[in-house]
Amino acid sequence: MSKDPVRVLVTGAAGQIGYALVPMIARGVMLGPDQPVILHMLDIPPAAEALNGVKMELVDAAFPLLKGVVATTDAVEACTGVNVAVMVGGFPRKEGMERKDVMSKNVSIYKSQSSALEAHAAPNCKVLVVANPANTNALILKEFAPSIPAKNITCLTRLDHNRALGQISERLNVQVSDVKNVIIWGNHSSTQYPDVSHATVKTPSGQKPVHELVSNDDWLKGEFIKTVQQRGAAIIKARKLSSALSAASAACDHIRDWVVGTPEGTWVSMGVYSDGSYNVPAGLIYSFPVTCRAGEWTIVQGLSVDEFSRKKMDATAEELTEEKALAYSCLS
């Protein structure tokens, strides 16, 4: 029995991340090798011609799972009937811009797109916000789409999670698939806290704690954290362009684990609506360790938090609280 196609929206689809992401979705990386998809691609009118070029390439790639493509500059058309929405479009910070300027541009973008999603998306549509400031853009979307359940609006911190896994695997010279249960706490910004307190590595003699194998606290509490926090900037410096391939791949990981479920004994990091767990202020979109089952995420409870971690977790929560206030001031 072939499955019904799932409609997946990608906004900002003609941009760098969009260009890397749409073939991954069409190839089954996001929803599985037996799940047909219909891609909905949205971009702004100045990008209409480039968007049409992406649509031409999708046709030329003859993806067996791709059952249709909607390429449009109209938000209502793009959002109609979508089951998954990946919000990549946003206003990037340009040189000389104040944070408030960027925030007010994104607030107006997310305000209008949230109305279209709320009115036209399929019931129970799952939303992933990628565009920065991702956590706060997701919060704005939640505010203006009250009928979309809060649990269905998330933001991407899986890229940071994967970066942390990569750094540990490089340091220990082990396969990245053997490293698990790192945590990204907080904001997808340079205040995020990559935490390996509970992370383990699969070895011939069973699971071993990362901190025991690395046995260098200075590196784990210093260079490791800094490298993960500033990896985006390092890639821009090297490529002269922002990370697109790894962001697209992480977006696929995020949605796949959310829809299909996380492996037993493994958690991942997702930016989700805080319920006050771990003394994080409720009402922020904050990255937590989560497990997923049957299309629902659950925050992992009961992990011990030492003083070092507490300070880092509070600092990133503080930044998110400030961002929230800034976003709300743009609304008024």
Residue 279 in marked binding region: no
131 is in an annotated binding site: yes
Q: Is 48 annotated as a binding residue?
A: no
Q: Name the strand (E) or helix (H) holding 162.
A: helix 158-172
Q: Which two tokens stand for residue 194?
A: 């990559």
Any binding-site annotation on 310? no
Say if residue 239 carries a ligand binding annotation: no
Among 40, 120, 161, 188, the one annotated catalytic:
188
CA 288, 293, 295, 296 dihedral sign is negative
CA separation for the pair 73, 41 (Å, rounded): 8
DSSP one-letter string for 176-220: GGGEE--EEEB-SSTT-EEE-TT-EEEETTEEEEHHHHH--HHHH
Q: Is 13 annotated as a binding residue?
A: yes
Q: Is 130 annotated as a binding residue?
A: yes
**Residue 53 annotated as part of some ligand binding site:** no
Q: Is 188 a catalytic residue?
A: yes
Annotation-wise, does 99 bind a ligand? yes
Residue 71: which of 23, 118, 14 has the closest Cα? 14
43 is in an annotated binding site: yes
4 marked among binding-site residues: no
Q: 24 with 88: CB under 8 angstroms?
A: no
Distance CA 197, CA 224 (A): 13
**Distances from the Cα of 34 to the Cα of 26, 65, 248, 251, 315, angstroms:** 11, 7, 20, 19, 43
Instruction: Give me the active site residues, please.
Output: 188
- Residue numbers in the known binding site for NAD(+) are 12-18, 43, 106, 130-132
Enumerate the known binding-site residues. 12-18, 43, 93, 99, 106, 130-132, 163
Annotated binding site for substrate: 93, 99, 132, 163
